[in-house]
Structure 1
């Protein structure tokens, strides 16, 4: 029985954002979903790394984090993508794979084993394409996962030197009970500049009953939305996995057509700030989106950037007061702001109090939206501390104002934490003890 998520993927010709090293992070996955992708993959994560992680509920970011012993976040996800994200792992051991799958299965839509990665970091541990020469181990890993978890299991392979051997392998994979198999139409020694073998993917699709997901068409075929369907038809596949084309411009999933790179960059940055993306991930993704524009003056500055602050200066995104306050607390090595938001029974409006450095700040603003009152409370706190509140009035951007104190650069640094403030242009009055200020939302 194929899980509904996978069947929707395979039988309605929906598209997937494939995993790429340092690309399948949360900001990029959410952006792909915004533009129309139905299923997104995380970047390949190694079982030995994941097995050491603890599951942590991050109340500040509203995320679920899998955190290593050295406090690094190895995998971050959120409620928005829970029914759309496939967790892809690199593994060469059935029991380790099962342990990791059981750890994350309640936070994801499915589990995928990457048997198509030709990179040394994967193959030297017997993972990736190294598994293709060991079908017994492939069968053991996939069978163990299928029997051991409730979510659908898939895998991704590359084609073997002969079509007959490839079909035999896929038939053996099919017998394990997996929900689908993705086929990258290149051999392990071939790279993106080599032609994708659509004819081989097509032969595999016609030889097995399991849904086949075609992968590898970015360089030659998939240049806009129509190319996704063209690739599917050429391969007779159930669906299409898009990797590099989606990395270059995630709006490839828009039926209406590609969006300008500048717009996509800024939308990506908003997610990168909201979900506290490490600057190296952010920089990598932006460089991939710029591609030929990397030689421009702005592109060269981005390529040389060594911090989020330098990136934000070149591509200033929309910053919310909650983001600014959180970054200021981080820079001052203070605990993260804590918001207590209550609803008034009489009219069901919300009000909020934020605690920073053991002091409470509140707003007189009552609103039907929790997000609005928390942002207004953050503004009260920022102004009480003598900091810029980064007002989102028309024509204003907090990055355009000079800072008088070092801590007021917080809005330019590594950021996180909140959805954007609702811009409804109505006036509110906010207070903190004896302070009253008008501001525009």
Structure 2
């Protein structure tokens, strides 16, 4: 995966649809129902210019309960929760070279087990260390990892050592620009291919403007590509 000078679709959940679709997208949407915003939205984003697309964050605990199925009707690859008909993640060969599977985790071994299920069907695995939602923080995931750089290092190096896959990580801003840069440098040393930086701190809300200057500090400090995330213009 080449992340340099690319337009990237951010990982999002519950994306509403108010668009017109041709027949291929309608077929996905009709069967996906509760999964609007995942595969259909990624395919649309790619059609309209996204070079790389991210799936919504999926928790490792949840994904470890899934089995992989080839959906011959849709031509998709479905990861379905055992004992149910719930599709936790759906992808297809068309997006194989640019889709990123984003994972929420707080344990290196568990993250590896979950990644082993899906890494051959996606272009990259991304570890989310930036989500500020209570469900992530209470599970020691997302932004809770920002104060545990050793654990971030353990997760990323475990994936790098054991998978022949592109590994990336997403963070958000820390208390000071220097703290963010220091963490970013530690993450770069794990060998990740790129780093996503959400330009807000944990306490910030979506209505607060992203701090692009602090993202720029990270860009200047690293040699790997940095994906700027936070606002829409």
User: Structure 1 length normalisation: TM-score?
Assistant: 0.47
1:123: which partner in 2? Answer: 137
Tell me the CA shift for residue 209 of structure 1. Answer: 1.1
Write the deviation string for residues 392-414 of structure 1: whole angstroms up to 9, x where unpaired. xxxxxxxxxxxxxxxxxxxxxxx
- Name 1:14's counterpart in structure 2: 6
Q: Out of 1, 4, 28, which is 2:41 matched to? A: 28
Name which of 170, 178, 186 aligns with 2:192.
178
Aligned pairs for 1:18-417 within 5 A: 18-23=10-15, 24-69=37-82, 70-218=84-232, 222=233
Give the C-alpha shift of residue 14 in structure 1: 1.7
Structure 2 match to 1:438: none
**Secondary structure of 1:36 counterpart:** coil
Q: How far apart, in 1, do the equivalents of 2:186 and 2:76 lie?
A: 38
CA distance in 2, matches of 1:22, 1:96: 26
Mapped to 1, the partners of 2:209 and 2:117 lie a distance apart of 38
Secondary structure of the structure 2 residue equivalent to 1:217: coil
Cα displacement string for residues 305-337 of structure 1 (whole angstroms, at most 9, x for unaligned residues): xxxxxxxxxxxxxxxxxxxxxxxxxxxxxxxxx
Question: How many residues of Structure 1 are paired with residues of Structure 2 in the alignment?
Answer: 211
Higher RCO (Cα < 8 Å, 6 or more apart): 2
Q: Structure 2: where are the runs of 5+ without partners?
A: 16-36
Could you report, residue by residue, the CA deviation over 1:41-89 in whole angstroms, capped at 9, with x for unpaired residues?
0010000000110000111111100010122110011111011100001
Deviation at 1:208, TM superposition (A): 1.4
Residues 7-62 of structure 1: CA deviation (Å, up to 9, x unaligned): 2x32xx12111111234400000000110101000010000000110000111111
State the 1:121 CA deviation. Answer: 1.6
Distance 1:175 1:125 in 2: 26
| More displaced stretch, 90-99 vs 190-199 | 190-199
In 1, Cα distance between equivalents of 2:42 and 2:222:
30
- What SS class does the counterpart of residue 205 from structure 1 fall into? helix
Give RMSD over aligned pairs.
0.9
Q: Which has the higher helix share?
A: 1
CA distance in 2, matches of 1:173, 1:213: 14
- Provide the C-alpha distance between the structure 1 equivalents of 2:116 and 2:167, rounded to a whole number of angstroms: 12
Distance in 2 between residues matched to 1:143 and 1:22, nearest whole Å: 31
In 2, Cα distance between the equivalents of 1:121 and 1:71? 24
Question: For residue 18 of structure 2, what is the aligned residue in structure 1?
Answer: none
Which runs of 5 or more residues in structure 1 are unaligned?
A: 223-441
Q: Distance in 2 between matches of 1:132 and 1:53?
A: 28
CA distance in 2, matches of 1:20, 1:120: 16
Q: Deviations over 1:271-323 (max 9, x none)?
A: xxxxxxxxxxxxxxxxxxxxxxxxxxxxxxxxxxxxxxxxxxxxxxxxxxxxx
Larger Cα Rg: Structure 1 or Structure 2?
A: 1
